A and B are shown apart, each in its own frame.
Chain A
Amino acid sequence: MSATREPALAHYVAAEPFEPYAAEQLTPEQERFYRASQWRIMWWRFRRHRIAVVSAAILVLLYATTLVSEFLAPYNLHTRDSRHIYAPPQEVRLFDQGRLVGPFVYGYSMHLNMQTLTREYTPDPAKVQPLRFFCLGDEYRFWGLVEGRFHLLCPAEGGTLYLLGTDRLGRDLLSRIVYGTRISLTIGLLGIAVSFLIGITLGGISGYYGGWVDTLIQRLIEMVRSFPELPLWMALSAALPVNWSPLLIYFGITIILGLLDWPGLARAVRSKFLALREEDFATAAVLMGATPGRVIGRHLLPSFASHLIASVTLSVPGMILGETALSFLGLGLRPPVTSWGVLLNEAQNINVVALYPWLLLPVVPVFVVVLAFNFFGDGLRDAADPYK
């Protein structure tokens, strides 16, 4: 502070007003991000996973169809057409000999091949059968309750409309697949509900209390996991009483599927519990006198609910495939309950593949749904931890 020294620089004062927080000012996007709830951020992250979003849309659509299967299917589930057994798929056309007719199909002309003893169907250009939309067709009971005849799509009067062909009783495969969706898709959900219940309870107890309870449950999990699933499923479903109604069998199968699925979930729940119960907020809750039930339900569960949902989504396809396999072997669902597996049961030998390849078509929805669930689950899992 000596007066003798000249200042090196002239005194300078900036003209702008002084704002000490200018550097820390948030842009509107950042502000939106920091203020958003956890679920909202998860949604943003999920949205970035394109394939997962598409998969989610497909799944929503498929589940929506199960609500109105009767309306969407052109035929009733059980309608038999003895004149068209093992008929190949009919192709939808727009033009008949250069003339626009709108969507129509050619009728079949059938003759018996006496050498191979098979029916041979050929499209007959003389029979032009225009499709009808929003029309009256086969009778059905909507969800088994309300009678109706209204369909999205019907064959022409006196004509046929087998877009995916027919089976050995002359039943329309497309309609059967549409009805099968209802069973195949819900069986996964119900199975998951069972496994979810067991998994969360046992995993939660194991993780929260620790000690010998934990050891016991861990051993149990190891044992269940070390058992090959399918043989055990086979044994369990072979044990279902023969005199049960198809509906009871359906519930039996869902429970069997769920019974073997829980260990993975229980393990995930336990490891999350072990990590989270050491967190400050859990300790704080305990110190403030919260009961174990409240600590678990109000503080611990919500903080890893997203993980749970993701891992659950990833185990649905396993169940759908499991049901398909069991029904294929004839151990699962029984007709008249119709699932994709039951439909595939008809395609059991190599002759079918050679002669009536369209009977393999129910595998397409299985494939699509399993893939969609996998991608959807992947997307959810990536989004589950939005703060990473």
Chain B
Amino acid sequence: MLSWPLISLLFAMLVIVWYLSFTATRLDRLHHRVETTWANLDAALHQRAGIALEIARAGVLDPASSVILSTAAHTALVALPENRSDAEEDLSEIITSMVNIEVLGADLRLKAFELTESLNEVRSRVRIAISFHIEAVNSTKLQRSRGLVKLFRLAGRAPNPVRFPFEEIAV
């Protein structure tokens, strides 16, 4: 015959186990979200570099701007993972300054309407993808920093998610 204290102990353990497994599942879902948001961002960045390269090669820019843009776009496309952030940051900086001095401005819109439209579109896609990725990374980091998660190693072997420096600047 089970005594009441034993029953409540078993019940409490059941609750704890359930809670741990719930948190682990939640963490797993978060890590998964970091991966999918990164995959989206990665795809958007590739598109951006591709369109930048197309614009540079379309013969609508002055040659100096073409060289600068295609160098940066090409470098971003072929960058190894360890250089990727720097390369994307350079490309963001160059696109921003080119928009500012009207290299990628109204004049170009007249000559290559579709390309500039695609670039604008992909830039806003990159912006959105960055904010989703940063959000996923931040909430995952927050969950991982909880004592319970650390104590029971609920994150398992999932790598600690990171924000890249290029995500902090204007694109």
Q: A and B: real partners?
A: no
Q: Which residues of A contact B (CB under 8 A)?
A: none
